[in-house]
Each structure stands twice: as structure tokens, then as C-alpha cells.
Amino acid sequence: MATGFTIAQAKSLMTMYLNSPISLDSSGNYHGTLPGSPEIHSNCTLFSTWFLLNYTTDNVRLAILSGNGNQMVEYFVNANIGKVSIRNTPVAFSLFSITANNGNYYTMNAGHTGIVLGIDGDTVITGEANYNAPFGGLDAPYPNNGTVVRTYPLSTFNSSTGVTFVDLNNYLKDELKLIGREQIIEEEQDMFTFDCNGTVFLKQGDRAKWFNDSKKLAKLREEYKRVYGKDLMNIGTVDAKQRDEFTR
């Protein structure tokens, strides 16, 4: 069974990451972590921080300092006590940390971190960045793996080989669902909004949800236009009977 992103969707996300400007504060940091080298995006903690910042809700917060790659799971859990916990096995959309000097993954003193973006059968699909590595393509092997999509066996990518996880699914933003350009045709045909009695509803396939937060809806429209290059269609106001047909 497949959950989360396909490899193609993961590559869409990583392309968005590479195209995203990284704004540093007066200390030269990005929300508690350092920029990459030789390219600004080439840092594992930077990518994980970028993902958490952009695709998790305000109900969880970043650690004041991200820590090294091997510390990021622990620091994030400590910053959100009672909301998240450390897991020994991956799920789609989880933060992971790999221990330092881990021969299974060739890590060094700082360990490594990234995001599990999908699981397809026995294959774990991750998004990662690597310090001191130039960008050589999203499939590039070492030493040109600055920003990549990788796969690991589900049977071994777990705490038994030094990898720990935090499940983020309870705190993901809706915008994450719009990523994946190979689904554009299907989703464009099925996705639209409508109004009923002052409430805005989003209809996608056989699912519907309502919005009571205008800022959240505006952000969703903005993300849709950025991904698909067109406005999210609104079919206007419907009556209660039509609403019930759409939402049943």
C-alpha cells in the first residue's frame, strides 16, 4: 500500500524547495539553523526546518535552535512536549534524524535529518539536503547530492539502524496536498470551491471540507495558483440541497 507522496510528487516538493528564497536573519541563520554550502539550500537541517516552517500548522513550533541533524527529532519533540513523540518506525510525512557517525548511512559527527515524504510498499521515499554537496540533480549520488529525493528499504530504515522519527500528520497544512504535478489533470477537474449560507466549501473528488478561516483559504488559493498556474475555480453560491449533494 502506498501512502504520502510518490517519487514524482516528492521531486515536485524538492524543486519548490530549491526555488524558494532562503532569508537569513541578522545573525546569518534561518529560523535557528545555518545556511548550506556550497549552495544555500545544501544543508539537511535547513531543508527539514523549511518543511516544518512551511507545511506544519501553528499548533506546533520549531525548536529555537534546530540542533544538528542527529538532534533535530529530539529538539523538535522537546519544543512540543505532549503533542508529538519519538517513533522507531517511519510514516509518510515524518521528520527523521540519523545518529552521528553511522556506518549504515555514512553520516559524520552531525548526523543527518530529512523528511519522509512517502512509503510505497517496502520503499521509503525521502526528501533530503546535504552539507558541502553541490546540487547535481534530484537523483544525484554522492558527492553531488546537495538536494535529493532518496529511497530506503522500509525493513531497515528504522531505529534498529539508528533512525528515529516524528509523525507530523496531525499538524500538516492543507497546502501540502496540492503538490504533485502529475495529478494536475485529475485534481483540476475535481477541485473547486462554493459558497452556502456564508460558508466557503472546498470540493475535491469525493471529499469536501469547509473553511472558517479566511486567511487559511487565501493561502490555499495562493498555493493552488502557484502550483497549477491558474485560479482555483469558484462555482458561486449554492442552496442547501446542492451543498448536501456535494458534501455527502
If pLDDT is split at 50, 70 and 90, which confidence band does 215 have? Answer: confident
d(CA 98, CA 106): 10
With CA atoms as reference, report the closest residue to 64 among 111, 97, 31: 31
pLDDT at 91: 98
Task: Give the mean pLDDT of 114-134.
Answer: 98
pLDDT at 119: 97
If pLDDT is split at 50, 70 and 90, which confidence band does 234 have? Answer: confident
- Between residues 226 and 74, the one the model is more confident about: 74
pLDDT in tens, 133-181: 999 999 999 999 999 999 999 999 999 999 999 999 999 998 887 775 4
pLDDT at 168: 98
pLDDT in tens, 82-113: 999 999 999 999 999 999 999 999 999 999 99
d(CA 96, CA 226): 28
pLDDT at 245: 78
Residue 111, SS3?
coil
State phi, psi for 70 to the nearest 5 degrees: -70, -10
pLDDT in tens, 63-73: 999 999 999 99
Torsion (CA) 139, 143, 147, 150 in degrees, nearest 10: 50
The C-alpha cell 535529518 sits at 113
User: What is the residue-averaged pLDDT of the chain?
Assistant: 90
pLDDT at 179: 75
Whether residue 115 contacts residue 48, with contact meaning beta carbons closer than 8 Å, is answered with yes
Strand partners, 101: none
Residue 205, SS3?
coil
Domains of the chain by range and CATH? 2-182 (3.90.1720.10), 188-247 (no CATH)
| 246 has pLDDT over 80 | no
With CA atoms as reference, report the closest residue to 201 among 191, 187, 215, 188: 191
Burial class (CB in 10 A: 0-12, 13-18, 19+), 159: middle
| 184 has pLDDT over 80 | no
Q: What is the value of pTM for the model shown?
A: 0.75
Per-state percent for the chain, helix, strand, coil, to nearest 5 = 30, 25, 40
d(CA 185, CA 201): 21
60-63: long-range contacts, CB 8 A cutoff, minimum separation 24? 60/84, 60/168, 60/171, 62/31, 62/32, 63/32
